[in-house]
Structure 1
Amino acid sequence: MAISSVTKAKIFCRLSSTQFISTVPHKISQFRNKICLANLLQRYGLSPSQLHTFLAKKHFLLDHYNVHDIQNSLNILLSFKIPQTSFISLLFDCPAVLDFNFLKKWQIGISKFGDSGISPVAICSVLALSKRFQIDPDLFLNRVSLLKDLGFNGGVLTRVFERFPRIIMMNEDEICEKIGFLEGTGISRYGIERVFHYFPEVLGFDVENRLKPLLGEFLELGFSEDEIRDEITMDPRVLGMELGEMSRCLGLLKTLKCRVPIKDKIFSEGEFRAGFEVKLRIDCLCKQGLIHREAFKILWKEPRLILYEIEEIEKKIEFLVHRMKYGVGSLVEVPEYLGANFEKQIIPRYNVVEYLRSKGALEFDVGLKSLIKPSRLRFYNLYVKPYPECEKMFGRFAEGTGLKRRHPVGMWKLFKPQKHTETKEDVNNMKSFMEPLV
């Protein structure tokens, strides 16, 4: 029987309305679940900004878990007494850990073991690894017992699981191989515990292909076995150096051009320690976004950095990038910035220039070089003396220093900076220890 056009239209309208009714409630349901999840996570400590980022990237949670199960999972995580910071990091780094069945299994497994002496932060690291690699809690508890039998005390055990949870996936022979290597260097039992406590990542290094060649390099550089042993015990991170890294660091030290007191202070604790301090500063600069070649060049031009604390260098770079709005690459051209005093030089000069810029007193851009390189007197005469209100933020010179007004108030005079030229000898010295980085 033929279907008229009117009948077709009626059928189409019924199908369309049915489809609309079936899809809209689903969308409404998803939206409600998202709101419920957001409210739930906010009650468990996520800030509004964190919630926005989390839900934008982890929208798959509602596709795999319902809100009720997620709430039960969060309660189990809280039962492990995980600190708030670690708790938030775990949710962002491994949201799949909210699997209720997975957490319930771990809750039962840990409760059977009793007080294992493992810190909540360590449990947090173990849970993230276990979810990624589908590790059973029985294997974790087996490794805890094994490490205790090998002499790992509670503090070392906790530190290892916090920083190197992959030890769960290692067998007894692999762990004993690392212990045997350290014993072979003459390190005492207490020293071995110190190594694992301060640098647990060494447990993941291959003995034959990484650790033994590294010690061989130290010996070839002229360091004695006793000196190497003492340095490892003092700072186990020495074992984290790459092959050839100590040679490049010592090469830089031999070509430094700086005042004798600075060089004496750099080598005050021995050549080995000086080379390792160079490595730590290079790592710090590279962590901020520089390449190795740039980091070596900065350190060679500003040797005082070897004497500065890592935290101080990081603070200056953070201020440079986030407050002063310069790229980290500007340090290659003006390494003196990292050698300047943060409280007495960098901040006062920056405040003066920002104040003058806000008042419209600057008709030119004051670059990082013009901000840092001038002497205190020169900067004062250029930017402070014509505007007395800036003296308070800059810091007044002591009276009687004989400062003379060089130009009337409001008149500006720029000094052309002297161009620094590197000699052929300087270039050759830099090439000698930077060639392996090319």
Structure 2
Amino acid sequence: MASKLVTYINPRCFTVTLKTQNRSLSSNPGSRILPPINQSQYRKQILLANLLQRYGFPSSTLQHFLSRNNFLLNSDLAETETSLGILLSLKIPQKSLVSLICDCPNVLRSEFLRKWRAPLSECVSSSAIKSVLEHSSRIGIDPDKFYECTKVLKGLGFCDSTVSRILSEFPGVLVVNEIEFRRKIEFLIGIDIPRDNIERFFHIFPEILGIGTETRLKPLLDEFKKMGFSKDEIKKEIAREPRVLGLELGELSRCLELIKALKCREVIRVRILSEGAFRAGFEVKLRVDCLCKYGLIRRDAFKVVWKEPRVILYEIDEIEKKIEFLINRMGFHINCLADVPEYLGVNLQKQIIPRYNVIDYLKLKGGLGCDIGLKGLIKPSMKRFYNLYIKPYPECERIFGKRKENARAKQRHPPGLWKLMKPPSHVTTREDVVNMKSFIESLA
């Protein structure tokens, strides 16, 4: 029983539990009270669980978290509470704090936080503090590196918001030396990026500091030129979207091959290529990265984009909303998109959510004979879905929205316009009648 973790938010519950446990053990003649050391460990588990719950930890994850981090049970509870207080004093939001401790529990070590408390108090954003703490606890970076890095960045003329942005998005900058900073700036100037635009470039794409100049950036430019893009076109696209330099070697060519192989209506193809082939290929890369971020393997992500080309025209935010609704609300796995990519091509508010609400209602009511998968939810036309799931259940009309069966088609032209467009009629004269009769007689 001592091995099980029971969490209680109220400390009184903890006392009652121990008393009940001891009473039950002493009531049986063959039983004996737990050894003091085990009882002490059990008590410490509950106190530590209560402490973590007060700082926002969900009770469902506490047992797993404490079982993987035994050093917390061996450490002083007062020091652990002090460490949590230091993290809160750095103005880290509660949700980010829980995420940080779950991913890097070493941040709760008192000696680690004492070293980093003063340096991190200079950071502007809480996201930068979280990234630096997470990165430094994993690879063992000292605050001296932090001071050196911020000194170099500010010496280059970067403002505090840009420094925080770089630390937040790319904490690996702490191990980048000043020489590498200079090389990146020289590279950008070499491709005609204005000096007054350098800071904006690093603000938008701080990950460039982790990309090798000789091994990746220069070969990437050579690849763009071999693909037939001019120097001006490359410069224009990089200045417009710095993340272009984050492309892997050969990635853009693969995206352009996918666009050439698309089987879609010509109007969609024209819209995809409306801003040029370079931009279209990069948009494909962004959609593939978005799908991979949620768990799809790269091959399946390309397959989804190829089967549903309209994804290239949608904003990333819209795609993410649909994926999050699919996973969190509908309960499907991300791999379902490989079989039903059409899901990403329909409207979330007008089609996906109303259909899901109807199916969910019928499932709770027991009106479905079998489980309806994602394909059965998305594939049927509006008329077929209405006849199958809404017409037999009048109460679903309110959930799905009223269907106007007898609604008149909207007229595209004002009434009476046909009279103005009607050509004038030809007046038949007596001479025309005589000519027609003579022509018919000649045929006879």
TM-score range, shorter chain: 0.7 to 0.9
Structure 1's 192 and 93: CA in aligned 2 closer, same or farther, altered over 3 A? same
1:288 matched to 2:299? The reply is no
Match among 105, 114, 129 for residue 104 of structure 1: 114
Counterpart position of 2:48: 37
1:62 matched to 2:62? The reply is no
Query: Could you tell me whether the CA contact under 8 Å between 2:90 and 2:120 is conserved in 1?
Result: no
Query: Could you tell me whether the CA contact under 8 Å between 1:194 and 1:233 is conserved in 2?
Result: no
Secondary structure of 2:368's counterpart equals coil
1:83 matched to 2:93? The reply is yes
Counterpart position of 1:201: 207
Displacement of 1:186 in angstroms is 0.8
CA deviations 1:2-53 (Å, max 9, x no partner) are xxxxxxxxxxxxxxxxxxx998222122222222222322333334335444
Displacement of 1:110 in angstroms is 6.0
Amino acid at match of 2:97: F
Structure 1's 333 and 143: CA in aligned 2 closer, same or farther, altered over 3 A? closer
Secondary structure of 1:388's counterpart equals coil
Structure 1's 382 and 196: CA in aligned 2 closer, same or farther, altered over 3 A? same
- Correspondence 1:34-433 to 2 at 5 A: 34-63=45-74, 65-108=75-118, 116=122, 118-401=124-407
Distance 1:217 1:381 in 2: 55
Secondary structure of 1:217's counterpart equals helix
Structure 1's 367 and 214: CA in aligned 2 closer, same or farther, altered over 3 A? same
Distance 1:109 1:322 in 2: 38
For these two proteins, the number of residue pairs brought into alignment is 379
Query: Could you tell me whether the CA contact under 8 Å between 1:252 and 1:300 is conserved in 2?
Result: yes
Structure 1's 109 and 155: CA in aligned 2 closer, same or farther, altered over 3 A? closer
Structure 1's 62 and 139: CA in aligned 2 closer, same or farther, altered over 3 A? same
Q: Unaligned regions of 5+ residues in structure 2, if any?
A: 1-31, 410-444
Displacement of 1:194 in angstroms is 1.8
Counterpart position of 1:426: none
Identity %: 57
Distance 2:399 2:118 in 1: 61
CA deviations 1:374-400 (Å, max 9, x no partner) are 221222223322333322222233242
Q: Unaligned regions of 5+ residues in structure 1, if any?
A: 1-20, 404-438
Query: Could you tell me whether the CA contact under 8 Å between 1:33 and 1:62 is conserved in 2?
Result: yes
Displacement of 1:228 in angstroms is 1.9
Distance 2:345 2:258 in 1: 18
Structure 1's 22 and 229: CA in aligned 2 closer, same or farther, altered over 3 A? farther
Counterpart position of 1:24: 35
Distance 2:33 2:335 in 1: 56
Query: Could you tell me whether the CA contact under 8 Å between 1:109 and 1:138 is conserved in 2?
Result: no
Counterpart position of 2:13: none
Amino acid at match of 2:90: F
Question: Which moved further from structure 2: 135-144 or 272-281?
Answer: 135-144
Larger radius of gyration: 2
Secondary structure of 1:298's counterpart equals helix
Distance 1:370 1:45 in 2: 40
CA deviations 1:201-249 (Å, max 9, x no partner) are 1101111111111111122222222222222232222111111110011
Counterpart position of 2:423: none
Distance 2:329 2:259 in 1: 32
The alignment's TM-score, normalised by the length of structure 1, stands at 0.79
Distance 1:387 1:242 in 2: 53
Secondary structure of 1:237's counterpart equals helix
Higher relative contact order (CA 8 A, sep 6+): 1
Query: Could you tell me whether the CA contact under 8 Å between 1:83 and 1:121 is conserved in 2?
Result: no
The alignment's TM-score, normalised by the length of structure 2, stands at 0.78
